[in-house]
Amino acid sequence: MTHPPQFEPLAEGLLVRAPAKLNLSLLIAGKRPDGFHEIETVMAKIDWYDELRIEPGSRKIDLVCDGPHWAPDGKENLVYRAAEEAFRAAGWAESVRLTLTKNIPAGSGLGGASSDAAATLLGLNRYFDLQLSPSQLANAAARLGSDIAFFLGGPLALCTGRGEKIAPLTTTFDFTALLILPNINVSTAEVYAHYTHDFSEYERLGRATRTHIAEGRIDRLAQMCANMLETSCYRLCEELGRLKRILESLDIGPICLSGSGSTLYLLAHHADAEDLDRLRERIAIETRCASIIVRNNPW
């Protein structure tokens, strides 16, 4: 299967695709002195994209948002702040018009806003030849948010710290996943705020995770469906917990949570397109939730 490129030249601009991600595992090592949680997560990009158009503008930063999902205009949007950060790091600025097409829903655990910010940093650096080095881009990403640095590289990495320390994984892990998309917006901050740490659970999952990574068996790691934020997420959002129980009752395989929610997903290693389409119909009947089929992204 062919995938579209991340960068596509336009007549008077540049189109940048911003892929979503799945957390194939998400462990919490504990709380840090700065109040954040120390995480260990394996993330994989998938072939579902927001799109950012970069074009000449009439003022410093002009941001317009469209698409099926709402996103804020102006400085409330990470795209705007990433553009400011890119120009600040380069020491100069251009007038630019940014059009964000939002296909990935917010609050879904798929990293859409973080990916949009990374696409902005990469796209502006390329379009205006800002000559920002990889380390300068990574520093800018870290100032903007925890997950953004992952989207500067990829497609598969172990992310630690607050999520900003990236160790690329060179193992190839090809997969197909069915994303179940409830119309629920989950607050990452609230999920972390209500998280209760279980050190013995972290130790148990950590040993297995490190073994699978060392052996290059990301398939086995993903099959664990390890996400230590699940309990906190389902406690805050009982509707999402009920949805997972309904899906599990269909006996279709392990149901995983991406990030802090709300997206649930099923890895479908051996299912063909017809099987997945039938499964989507069954899930729609049983849960009234939309679902989409995605695959791992190559870049």
Q: What tens digit of pLDDT does each residue of 41-51 get?
A: 999 999 999 99
Q: Which of 99, 133, 168 is the last residue of a domain?
A: 168
* DSSP secondary structure, 146-179, as one string: SSGGGGGS-SEEEEEETTTEEEE--S----EEEE
Same domain, 160 and 38: yes
Tokens of 88: 């600040």
Q: Domain containing 24: what range?
A: 7-168
Q: Which of 11, 112, 37 shows the shortest CA–CA distance to 70?
A: 112
Domain of residue 35, CATH code: 3.30.230.10
Same domain, 79 and 185: no
Q: Which of 97, 66, 57 shows the shortest CA–CA distance to 80?
A: 97
Same domain, 288 and 267: yes
Q: Note if 147 is an active site residue.
A: yes
Strand ranges in the chain using DSSP code E only, listed in sequence order: 7-10, 13-31, 37-56, 61-66, 96-101, 156-161, 165-168, 176-181, 256-257, 264-267, 290-295
Q: Which of 125, 149, 168 is the last residue of a domain?
A: 168
Q: Note if 244 is an active site residue.
A: no
| pLDDT computed for residue 154 by the predictor | 87
Same domain, 48 and 85: yes
pTM of the model: 0.96
Structural domains counted in the chain: 2
Same domain, 149 and 193: no
Please indicate, yes or no, if residue 2 is contained in any of the structural domains. Answer: no
Domain of residue 244, CATH code: 3.30.70.890
Picking from 9-13, 78-82, 226-230, 272-276, which range would have the lowest pLDDT averaged per residue? 272-276
- Report the SS3 class of residue 77: coil
Instruction: For residue 195, give Cα distances in angstroms to 54, 117, 132.
Output: 39, 27, 37
pLDDT band at 30 (very low <50, low <70, confident <90, very high): very high
The one catalytic residue among 47, 50, 116, 147 = 147
Same domain, 162 and 186: no
Percentage of residues of the chain with pLDDT beyond 90? 93
Same domain, 188 and 156: no
The one catalytic residue among 21, 45, 102, 244 = 21
| pLDDT computed for residue 45 by the predictor | 98
